Amino acid sequence: GTLGVAVIGTGRMGADHVRRIQEVTSGARVSAVVDIDAERAKRLAEGIDGCTAYTDPGAAMAADDVDAVLIASPGPAHEAALLTVFGHDLPVLCEKPLTPDAASALRVMEAEQKLGHRRIQVGFMRRYDAEYMKLKALLDSGRLGRPLMLHNRHRNAASPPGFTTEMLINDSVVHEMDVTRWLLDQEITEVTVLRPTPSGNAPEGVQDPQLVLFETDGGAIVDVEINVNCGFGYQVKAEAVCERGTARIGEEQSLVTDLAGRWGGTIAQDFVERFADAYDREVQAWVDATRRGEVTGPSVWDGYAVAAVCEAGVRAQSEGGRVEVEMVERPALYRR
């Protein structure tokens, strides 16, 4: 039957997922919305047939018409919500980050292992982006030879209020950490962060942009320009340099216009726009897998591994130099 989903957290991503499940996703409906802001949850629920508003995630999870949970609350609220979900043994799509640090991610990983089966898909949506999927298939085909380097550019028009220097790593570069591990099928072992004199666009006290370097256990080198107040739009570009050739995505050449003495295209303004298709595919894949009784996509191990890389990244920011990533061994539940 139709999957009844509780959406926890109805901010920017949560509200977008509510709209998506109602209007785009097939086989699912929103049966509950949860927010600490009771009024916001109530307003949202009022527009949806058979949807109940809650302020307590546990109460929503216990409801008869809730079969699965989508967590889109702020990162610090994830651990408690996930541990409660395990008590109800419900399938989960958890927005990134899994949790804010490696120790809490490890606790979630231990709890899932105790449950004995995977329940959580982590919301690293770039794996569902059409261009990234093509790049992954090409690298896996071996046609380009072995990947040697990845060059990445990650630009936001402006950072939201309260965005800190650490968040450039924990909120933004976290995506390149995930795609690096996924595209190369390697673990990141060292992180280095270099910082130019901050842009005049950066809020007071925020070190933006930064150049972040990863080394991997397969001997690849990865660089990331993270630049979250570039002013002109939202861009995510990547180039894989391999033994026999290179492959680039994010070139924004799908529509080029010649007009009034100029040629050019448009630049997306934010991730909701740039990754709309990826989010659609991600949520549909989660619903489809859940209805088959399966769990696919990025796992708690992936969430934990990037949390460990983030810790090394934040240390590299403050201490300088090259910082080694510390992580536990990959548990049997998450072996390929």
Is 172 near ligand ISE (CB under 6 A)? yes
Interface with ligand ISE by CB under 6 A: which range of 42-50, 114-122, 169-177, 305-313?
169-177
What are the residues facing 328 on neighbouring strands?
none
Is 84 near ligand ISE (CB under 6 A)? no
Is 175 near ligand ISE (CB under 6 A)? yes
Is 228 near ligand ISE (CB under 6 A)? yes
Interface with ligand ISE by CB under 6 A: which range of 54-62, 137-145, 168-176, 183-191?
168-176
Q: Which is nearer to ligand ISE, 156 or 186 (CB)?
A: 156
> Which 267-286 positions form the footprint of ligand ISE (CB under 6 A)?
271
In angstroms, the CA 300 to CA 110 distance is 10
Q: Which is nearer to ligand ISE, 132 or 271 (CB)?
A: 271
What's the CA angle centered on 309, arms 303 and 312, to 5 degrees?
A: 145
In angstroms, the CA 57 to CA 71 distance is 9
Query: 3-state SS of the chain: helix, strand, coil percent to 5?
Result: 40, 25, 35
Q: Which is nearer to ligand ISE, 228 or 325 (CB)?
A: 228
Residue 13 C-beta: closest distance to ligand ISE, Å: 8
Q: Which residue is nearest to ligand ISE (CB)?
A: 172
Is 153 near ligand ISE (CB under 6 A)? no
Residue 38 C-beta: closest distance to ligand ISE, Å: 25
Residue 70 C-beta: closest distance to ligand ISE, Å: 16
Phi, psi of 122 (to 5 degrees): -95, 140
Residue 99 is classified by DSSP as S
Q: Sign of the CA dihedral 18, 22, 23, 25?
A: positive
Q: How many residues does the chain have?
A: 336
Helix (H) or strand (E) holding 61: helix 57-61
In angstroms, the CA 180 to CA 298 distance is 13
Q: Which is nearer to ligand ISE, 72 or 228 (CB)?
A: 228
In angstroms, the CA 138 to CA 133 distance is 9
In angstroms, the CA 77 to CA 56 distance is 12
**For residue 91, what are its two tokens?**
């399938």
Residues 101, 171, 178, 302: which binds ligand ISE (CB under 6 A)? 171
Residue 152 C-beta: closest distance to ligand ISE, Å: 12
Residue 195 C-beta: closest distance to ligand ISE, Å: 17
In angstroms, the CA 77 to CA 303 distance is 15
Is 152 near ligand ISE (CB under 6 A)? no
Judged by DSSP in three states, 212 sits in strand
Residues 156, 180, 216, 229: which binds ligand ISE (CB under 6 A)? 156
Residue numbers of the site for ligand ISE (CB under 6 A)?
156, 171-172, 175, 228, 271
